[in-house]
Structure 1
């Protein structure tokens, strides 16, 4: 079938841009951004078209050209990958509303594109095309074709199937065999994180809170080493216990999430304790526990949010580097103590500095010290540093510039 003139125009336009910005066959960072932006612009025009087949062909072309580019382009900004993802989403939308006359063409083209050699290195994009094709599957023969392409992507580093392959299989089973069969498939493959997550969401949709809770608790007991993934199950449990008004379990899970370093859960736990009238007796033991369980920066953030500035001052004494983040706020309540910490930290940083970038960092700290209220003290320290390091001309230059700036604000 001859190419549509508008399709040909877009394709040549994109290829010309790629040639213009390539250097000996490689597309550098700036060129990747320009090409990615052009791909998105072409996609937007395709999405506005009344002809679904023309729009589909243009979007498939964008995916193909994008995949070709990824192997010899600097896409560290993610612009090319983003254009491919947007194109895949547009293809999925077209498949959702495909007329009977176009279904077979869309299905076969998606599978053919997913089977391209370039997709082997970018399985995520291949699976996106297969997910778009799932809504077009009508019989076991088509299902097998999808499964074959899934298998061509190989396995994960652990030798297991890709999670996307499981999710695609689930969707096909649901289409061809119904919800009961697809639920059985989920329950047989709960060892896959994404499958269990889907099973929990399905249970929540049905308001089957007992099953949803069971799936989450099982996962947390089996995967204790996966902190981030345990967070997901814990947040599910938070929703479950909120919906079921189980305050005891809600307290436990909010406390658990807080210990994972999610400091925004501190006020949530406080509210739960206040509702029971036990906040005052819980406050000190909780803060003591958090001081040993959280990373220093997380604990500092929590103390700052909670207005526990005396405890934050104690932490600044232990972790001097935190002065640059919380010094100005703590100085409002404890100026003299905070100024001493500023001076000690600035002197340490100046001693370690050996080049202009580090000198500028030292000057930035001096400016923050000034802004914390220590106007006279910071200028005296600046003069002291100037006297201590007369043989560092770059430092002297940075200190002189800062001094002029601060004296105007004095």
Structure 2
């Protein structure tokens, strides 16, 4: 057995490091952490790069280190436990520069190391000495400020967020504030990415104010940072809480102007504005904004809009909505949903003629009123697909549609259609093979 183990260790040097790290107390210091992580990385690294297939092996050293973190903290050495996590985090971020992490394995290890730090700090904070707290705080602040995080903002800010635990100490809070201000100053020259980083810094500053400075300073800080969407949303939610709906509307309109090129934010501010109009009972503005939502394919506002009109007035609005969709060349699930809700099978039939592929999910709504037309659209659609089909994947797709059609069409007509396809495309053996499977 000893001979076998020695042979394996000679063949795979990283195994010796692993065994020593796991079982020899003298080999679990921070230098050994770096060594075992490097052993696994270098074992699969080829000219400085780690291929996709080797990434899961390359992180095994980091996983071994993280396995020992909890016990190290439980044994009372929280500084060492945090340092072990930082070693994993820093080496994995460096590794990301030269590997294919398509599956996010390395990123997952980094997330795990940060979660471990957060757990250690939150669990043992009250029992740490001031000296221990200061050591951990400085370790985190130093790592968060390292240039390796320039392209990986999420982990940088995760570390800075953990620093908040220590800010009951005014001096340490001042250090964190200074770090954030320095980052904000440098971010101002970096365009969109700088704006994002600044907003993240501001969010940490807000947390500090919420924890240690009171609500009045919190409100003032939010109001001075409305250019950041997270802060505008907080201001809107606060105004809702106070039933200050006119203020909500102003905040939303300003946000819509500011973020007119950011579609997601634009819709968010309009959604809040609509809710404010609802609370105010402002029917006219609900109508205007609701119609805009409907014409932008948001079906959730269709019935809301409908109940704002009496039945006779609604018909005119409905016709305007339908004609707007009918003037476009593209398919619209919104238009389909309206036709089904309003029970307008004649328009639905015209739509299916214009977009034959929609028959696959609309046939059930058409059959009761237009059975023959439904069959014909199915047949025409399948014939058109067969004309352009050139490979087995396309043939299978046609056969799947035929199987759907079997639930609609007369069994005899379906068989006749399949036979017609076999005769027409007798020189396509793959197609004949797939058609034959239907009969089976």
The normalised TM-score by structure 2 is: 0.73
Aligned length: 402
Matched position secondary structure for 2:267: helix
Tell me: higher relative CO, structure 1 or 2? Use CA pairs within 8 A at least 6 residues apart.
1
Matched position secondary structure for 2:332: helix
Counterpart of 1:67 in structure 2 is 93
State how far apart, in whole Å, the 1-side matches of 2:340 and 2:121 are.
48
Following superposition, the deviation at residue 216 of structure 1 comes to 0.5
Counterpart of 2:157 in structure 1 is 127
Counterpart of 1:408 in structure 2 is none
State how far apart, in whole Å, the 2-side matches of 1:337 and 1:126 are.
62
Counterpart of 2:341 in structure 1 is 306
Is contact 2:62-2:109 (8 Å) kept? yes
State how far apart, in whole Å, the 2-side matches of 1:277 and 1:56 are.
70
State how far apart, in whole Å, the 2-side matches of 1:329 and 1:42 are.
61
Taking the TM superposition and a 5 Å limit, the aligned residue runs for 1:73-92 are 73-82=99-108, 84-85=110-111, 88=114, 91-92=117-118
Show structure 2 runs of 5+ residues with no match: 1-24
Measured against aligned partners, the alpha-carbon deviations of 1:201-233 in whole angstroms (never above 9, x if no partner) come to: 343344433322211112223443333221111
State how far apart, in whole Å, the 2-side matches of 1:18 and 1:226 are.
42
Matched position secondary structure for 2:297: coil
**Aligned to 2:291, which of 255, 263, 270?**
255
Alpha carbons of 1:322 and 1:81: their partners in 2 closer, same or farther (altered >3 Å)? farther
Following superposition, the deviation at residue 193 of structure 1 comes to 2.8
Is contact 1:111-1:149 (8 Å) kept? no
Is contact 1:312-1:330 (8 Å) kept? yes
| 2:423 is the counterpart of 1:397 | no
State how far apart, in whole Å, the 2-side matches of 1:270 and 1:229 are.
26
Following superposition, the deviation at residue 181 of structure 1 comes to 4.0
**Could you tell which deviates more after superposition, 58-67 or 215-224?**
58-67
State how far apart, in whole Å, the 1-side matches of 2:159 and 2:210 are.
19
Alpha carbons of 1:372 and 1:3: their partners in 2 closer, same or farther (altered >3 Å)? farther
Counterpart of 2:232 in structure 1 is 196
Following superposition, the deviation at residue 320 of structure 1 comes to 2.3
**Aligned to 1:269, which of 294, 305, 310?**
305
**Could you tell which deviates more after superposition, 26-35 or 126-135?**
26-35
Alpha carbons of 1:398 and 1:29: their partners in 2 closer, same or farther (altered >3 Å)? farther
Show structure 1 runs of 5+ residues with no match: 405-410
Following superposition, the deviation at residue 273 of structure 1 comes to 4.3
Following superposition, the deviation at residue 26 of structure 1 comes to 4.9
Measured against aligned partners, the alpha-carbon deviations of 1:336-389 in whole angstroms (never above 9, x if no partner) come to: 212211222222212112122222222222222223345433332222222222
Taking the TM superposition and a 5 Å limit, the aligned residue runs for 1:171-182 are 171-172=207-208, 178-182=214-218
Counterpart of 1:233 in structure 2 is 269
Is contact 1:10-1:42 (8 Å) kept? yes
Taking the TM superposition and a 5 Å limit, the aligned residue runs for 1:206-217 are 206-217=242-253
Is contact 2:55-2:101 (8 Å) kept? yes
Alpha carbons of 1:233 and 1:316: their partners in 2 closer, same or farther (altered >3 Å)? same
State how far apart, in whole Å, the 2-side matches of 1:394 and 1:84 are.
49
| 2:127 is the counterpart of 1:113 | no
